[in-house]
Amino acid sequence: MTLVEKILAKNAGLPEVKPGQYVEALVDLVILSDVAIRSVKAFYEIGAKKVYAPNRIAIVFDHNVPARDTKTAEDIRLLKEFAETQGIRHLFDLPRGGIQHLVPAENGLIYPGMIVIDGSHTCTDGALGVLATGVSAEDRAVAMATGKLWFRVPETMRVVLRGQPRAFLTGMDIGLALLGKIKTNGAVYMAIEFTGETLDYLGMDTRFTLCNLTMEAGAKTGIVEVDEKTLDFYRAQGLPVPENYAQGDPDSYVKETIEIDVAALPLQVAQPSSPDNVSALEKILGIPVTHGFIGYCVNGRLSDLALAARVLKRKQVNPKVNLIITPGSQRVLKEAVRKGYITTFLEAGAVIAPPTCGACAGIHMGVLGPGDTAISTTNRNFPGRMGHPKSSVYLANPAVVAASAVRGVISSPEEVLS
Amino acid sequence: MILSNRVWRLGDNIDTDQILPGSYINLPDKALRASHCFENIYPGFSSLVKPGELIAAGLNFGCGSSRPSVEILQDLGLGGVIAQSFARIFFRGGIARGFPLMVCPSLQAGDLPTGHHITVNLEEGTLVDQDSGALFSIEPYPKFFQEIMETRGLLNYTRTHMDREVR
């Protein structure tokens, strides 16, 4: 069995599961954001009174915070009351939180072998060897009430990453290259398992970025087997190191295997208006941009900010460009302050936004207007995703966005640093 | 369960931003919110669609964000969606809300054009285009999906089962 199949079998109490099978499995962690008020309403609609296990629920406020209007302020208050009533202690308001795809892992709530559910980009946590998958608001209500949920056992696509990446190439480029190859419907309802020696050259943050982007291919989850780098992640956060974690069998059946020659891969950019409309950066240099966005759940970890700071050090953002940098969490932001990256950004003329989903989801903290053209480290550029339907969004890694913000046109990091 | 009505044809990869652009998700008035459904790809759709009508689409219908999108289609009074494949979170949302989402793997781009009258039989797994006479197979639901549809959604289904366990 693959790792995903083993996790589903374990939590369903079955000796074996097969792709296509429907199972009822225990859910180890339900994550709610501030837009998940519907899950709370649905929970009471079921007729449930107490949640199945308060310590298996985490609430992270990340979409409409700081409250952008009175309605969202009310939702946040209702969720706080729900947590209070139900004895849910894992509640992360903005000051000690950030984006839901970083905060629970940073706080030791996610361990290898778990089933974790929340909104769409939960698959990010697959980087830690967990089955992390997005479900509907009603599903989350059912899991909170009963501790269980139905799952379809996914087919697996194995993505083998070969070779040493070139300078400035990150998980974002590899993920975009994969999307360009398999397209936004290339892995519908499948698990994408990443393996190969490239993972040894790149840090843990790369795995979060790669797993995050699997959602754009329609996958149920991205996943990476646990290795020494995974264990280092826990050590670095000062958390207990995982023991006795599940691993996939080497001879397990996979439906499809794809190899990517990362050593030969140039930097990648997704053009409007789909994350699979991918081109080599060198082919689209020179397109004028009005906005740059760096960070969020895709590329808002410390190594991503370090890369952007390397490009922006002693440089000035073009006066025609609004560069907004959004660290993924308060913890990342604090660490970026300590490392001096935030000073670099401010001196370059960038704006630092609090760790929220706001701009990426076109909600607040940098909504695009008609005619605006952004280059962004986020994961979606469908029409209207980041604002007006007549705005355009290019997706790229943090170094490419930083370089483009300096020059005011889509540029390579080498052009800026030479 | 049999659904029989006029069909609206859409293409591949209809994402949740097309079902409802993100800027409208917080509109409190449900009817007003639903009036923006598909406005970027099919202007005027919401004023033309009639209760019970069905959508036919290609691959990966409902991809994108996990925000509540099934209810936008329900608020417009649509009867269900037939697609070559569905994005999984959207599919889960449909099952959860008791909104029929039917997988028709053999559907091709020219099949079920807008305006044709179709009839779907969920038990038999058949779909007939009554204007062209074409016949298609749809994937039959596992037994508990049928129970969920009969109890009109996962919440009712769960309530029924929790009641049983309490007894």
Q: Domain of residue B30: give its range.
A: 2-166
| Per-residue pLDDT reduced to its tens digit, A169-195 | 999 999 999 999 999 889 988 999 999
B 71-130 near A (Cβ less than 8 A): 85-89, 92-93, 96-97
Per-residue pLDDT, A186: 92
Q: How far is A49 from chain B (nearest CA, A)?
A: 11
Q: Please indicate, yes or no, whether residues A254 and A300 belong to a single structural domain of this protein.
A: no
Nearest to B66 among A45, A47, A120 (CB): A120
Domain boundary among A219, A239, A260: A260
Domain boundary among A260, A278, A313: A260
Phi, psi at A179, each rounded to 5°: -65, -40
Per-residue pLDDT, B167: 41
| Cis peptide leading into residue A66 (ω within 30°) | yes
Q: Domain of residue A231: give its range.
A: 3-260
| Average pLDDT of chain B, as a whole number | 91
For chain A, say whether B144 makes contact (Cβ under 8 Å): yes
Q: How far is A150 from chain B (nearest CA, A)?
A: 9
B82 within 8 A of B102, measured Cβ to Cβ: yes
Q: Please indicate, yes or no, whether residues A254 and A276 belong to a single structural domain of this protein.
A: no
For chain B, say whether A138 makes contact (Cβ under 8 Å): yes
A138, A146, A184, A381: which to substitute to probe chain B, counting the most B Cβ within 10 Å?
A138
Look up the CATH number of the domain holding residue B99: 3.20.19.10
Interface contact flag, A188 B70, Cβ < 8 Å: no
| Per-residue pLDDT reduced to its tens digit, A51-82 | 999 999 999 999 999 999 999 999 999 999 99
B25, B67, B164: which to substitute to probe chain A, counting the most A Cβ within 10 Å?
B67
Interface contact flag, B60 A188, Cβ < 8 Å: yes
Give me the total of CB pairs closer than 8 Å, taking one residue from chain A and one from chain B.
Answer: 110
Domain count, chain A: 2
Give the nearest chain A residue to B94 (CA atoms): A136
Q: Is the pLDDT of residue A10 over 70?
A: yes
Any idea of the CA torsion for A108, A111, A117, A120, to the nearest 10 degrees?
A: 80
CA distance A29 to A11: 12
Q: Please indicate, yes or no, whether residues A17 and A105 belong to a single structural domain of this protein.
A: yes
Q: Please indicate, yes or no, whether residues A63 and A212 belong to a single structural domain of this protein.
A: yes
Interface contact flag, A274 B88, Cβ < 8 Å: no
- Mean pLDDT calculated for residue range A9-36: 94
Alpha-helical segments (H) within A260-367? 296-299, 302-312, 330-338, 341-348
Give the nearest chain B residue to A379 (CA atoms): B64
- Mean pLDDT calculated for residue range B87-99: 90
- Mean pLDDT calculated for residue range A134-149: 94
In this prediction, residue B164 has a pLDDT band, given cuts at 50, 70 and 90, of low
| Per-residue pLDDT reduced to its tens digit, A278-296 | 999 999 999 999 999 999 9
A24, A136, A357: which to substitute to probe chain B, counting the most B Cβ within 10 Å?
A136
Q: Please indicate, yes or no, whether residues A234 and A286 belong to a single structural domain of this protein.
A: no
Give B17-21 contacts, CB < 8 A, sequence gap 24+: B17/A380, B17/A382, B17/A383, B17/A384, B17/A385, B17/B64, B17/B65, B18/A382, B18/A383, B19/B62, B19/B69, B19/B72, B19/B73, B20/B69, B20/B72, B21/A384, B21/A389
A284 within 8 A of A396, measured Cβ to Cβ: no
Q: Please indicate, yes or no, whether residues A217 and A366 belong to a single structural domain of this protein.
A: no
Q: Please indicate, yes or no, whether residues A156 and A199 belong to a single structural domain of this protein.
A: yes
Q: Is the pLDDT of residue B165 over 70?
A: no
Is ipTM beyond 0.90? no
Token pair in block for residue B131: 């204007």
| Average pLDDT of chain A, as a whole number | 96
A303 within 8 A of A325, measured Cβ to Cβ: no
- Mean pLDDT calculated for residue range B59-74: 87
Domain count, chain B: 1
For chain B, say whether A254 makes contact (Cβ under 8 Å): no
| Per-residue pLDDT reduced to its tens digit, B112-158 | 999 999 999 988 889 999 999 999 999 877 778 888 888 989 999 99
- Mean pLDDT calculated for residue range A13-40: 94
Give the nearest chain B residue to A64 (CA atoms): B26
Q: How far is A75 from chain B (nearest CA, A)?
A: 11
Q: Please indicate, yes or no, whether residues A221 and A301 belong to a single structural domain of this protein.
A: no
| Per-residue pLDDT reduced to its tens digit, A317-331 | 999 999 999 999 999
Look up the CATH number of the domain holding residue A296: 3.30.499.10
CA distances from A153 to A3, A248, A326, B101 (A): 12, 15, 35, 19
Q: Residue A224 contacts by C-beta under 8 Å, 6 or more apart in sequence? A: A126, A127, A128, A129, A193, A194, A195, A199, A207, A210, A211, A230
| Per-residue pLDDT reduced to its tens digit, A244-272 | 999 999 899 999 999 999 999 999 999 99
- Mean pLDDT calculated for residue range A230-236: 97
Interface contact flag, B154 A138, Cβ < 8 Å: yes
Q: Please indicate, yes or no, whether residues A179 and A151 belong to a single structural domain of this protein.
A: yes
Domain boundary among A213, A232, A260: A260
| Per-residue pLDDT reduced to its tens digit, A351-388 | 999 999 999 999 999 999 999 999 999 999 988 899 99
Q: Please indicate, yes or no, whether residues A207 and A285 belong to a single structural domain of this protein.
A: no
Interface contact flag, A46 B158, Cβ < 8 Å: yes
Q: How far is A302 from chain B (nearest CA, A)?
A: 25
Nearest to B60 among A45, A145, A185 (CB): A185
| Surface-to-core class of residue A394, CB atoms within 10 Å of its CB (0-12 exposed, 13-18 middle, 19+ buried) | buried
Q: Please indicate, yes or no, whether residues A84 and A207 belong to a single structural domain of this protein.
A: yes
According to DSSP, the residues that pair with A236 across neighbouring strands are none
Q: Which residues of A touch B43 (CB under 8 A)?
A: none
Nearest to B12 among A71, A119, A185 (CB): A185
Q: Quote the pTM value.
A: 0.89
Which of helix, strand or coil describes residue A208?
Answer: helix
